[in-house]
Structure 1
């Protein structure tokens, strides 16, 4: 038991806290932001530098406020390292999903090349509000008409692009079945040729 206490001395704790404090805010910001953007966040190993850069930007904007206030206690440290990044990540995610940055880009005539959504699939279903008509054309050239509502789902996995449509319609957009019995359909990614959204 004494060996464990020797391992958990202050110097070792400081060594463990340093990398956490360098990456935790950036990781939390990207994690919370990713909840509003389809597509998985990259793993820690490949995105560690991005987390450090985001953390550095976050600290450069927030630490001066804490220095100015002059309050250093467990509550303020918790706010700085954990709660603050969670709030920032949520705000960035909502800003993206609501399309606020599009208005800023259009107003300033700035068109960034890099987009937070990694693929067109992520962009389409990340910005599509539930409650629209959809046509999925299969590789056999057969179109599937449907209603993409709150019970529908489009994959957010970068390696699996399947889709579930809660209501299958005929080619005149009439529901197939009755209110008590409606047809939904799951479509495997290998069968999808194109997806058309009608808002």
Structure 2
């Protein structure tokens, strides 16, 4: 890592690490929200930044062409280093979450490693709207309810807890609301497996 005590080193970090870091951070919000530490990822950030500058060459050329100091130059640099990487990270995250890149590669008989680090992250990151879930607990009993916009599935690999916004009673495959809405938090150690249904299919 460069010595951040000098102004030149600060510019070096801003120019060659921050864009790649922003792309990675924004993209991660579509999968797990987690990124490794700076020391672990610094090479990735630099490589991603170099690739980014290659993709954004016309913008880079325009920003470098601004000679006079002022607001225009400041905003141009902010756009190059922060705003455009944010937009690219958002696009990468959206396309990756919807398996666009993966499907394209698979069309050409290439089977890449999936971007989502676990089946848990993959399943819950792709849910849209309300879904019925049935959680089988470690003692064999079950808890059923709705996983929706007010529910939560932990992205922490060491604590896969699950919060369901509303509990349902299930009787002979019939899902019934309780008279009073109740939510439930299920610790990871109690979860054996989870079944998920689209409401239209129940």
The TM-score range, normalised by the shorter chain, is 0.7 to 0.9
The alignment partner of 1:130 has SS state of coil
Per-residue CA deviation, residues 147-193 of structure 1 (Å, 9 max, x unaligned), is: 11221111122221100111212223433422xx2122110001011
| Contact persistence 1:167–1:185 (CA under 8 A) | yes
The alignment partner of 1:174 has SS state of strand
* Match in the other structure for 2:108: 108
The alignment partner of 1:83 has SS state of helix
Q: 1:43 aligns with which of 37, 48, 60?
A: 37
* Match in the other structure for 1:17: 11
Point out 4+ residue stretches in structure 1 off by more than 4 angstroms. Answer: none
Gaps of 5+ in 1: 1-10
The alignment partner of 2:146 has SS state of strand
Q: For residues 131 and 59 of structure 2, what CA distance do their matches in structure 1 show? A: 45
What displacement does 1:100 show?
Answer: 2.3
Q: For residues 101 and 145 of structure 1, what CA distance do their matches in structure 2 show? A: 34
2:189 paired with 1:185: no
* Match in the other structure for 1:157: 156
| Contact persistence 2:63–2:77 (CA under 8 A) | no
Q: For residues 39 and 138 of structure 1, what CA distance do their matches in structure 2 show? A: 26
Normalization by structure 2: what TM-score? 0.83
Shift in alpha-carbon separation, 1:69–1:192, aligned structure 2, 3 A: closer
2:24 paired with 1:30: yes
Counting only pairs closer than 5 Å after superposition, residues 104-143 of structure 1 correspond to structure 2 as: 104-113=104-113, 115-143=114-142
Q: For residues 187 and 64 of structure 2, what CA distance do their matches in structure 1 show? A: 57
What displacement does 1:108 show?
Answer: 2.6
Number of residue equivalences: 186
CA RMSD of aligned residues (A): 2.1
| Contact persistence 2:17–2:45 (CA under 8 A) | yes
Shift in alpha-carbon separation, 1:20–1:175, aligned structure 2, 3 A: same
| Contact persistence 2:26–2:86 (CA under 8 A) | yes
Gaps of 5+ in 2: 67-72
Tell me which moved more, 127-136 or 187-196: 127-136
Q: For residues 153 and 193 of structure 1, what CA distance do their matches in structure 2 show? A: 17
Normalization by structure 1: what TM-score? 0.84
Per-residue CA deviation, residues 23-53 of structure 1 (Å, 9 max, x unaligned), is: 1001000111111112511121211111111
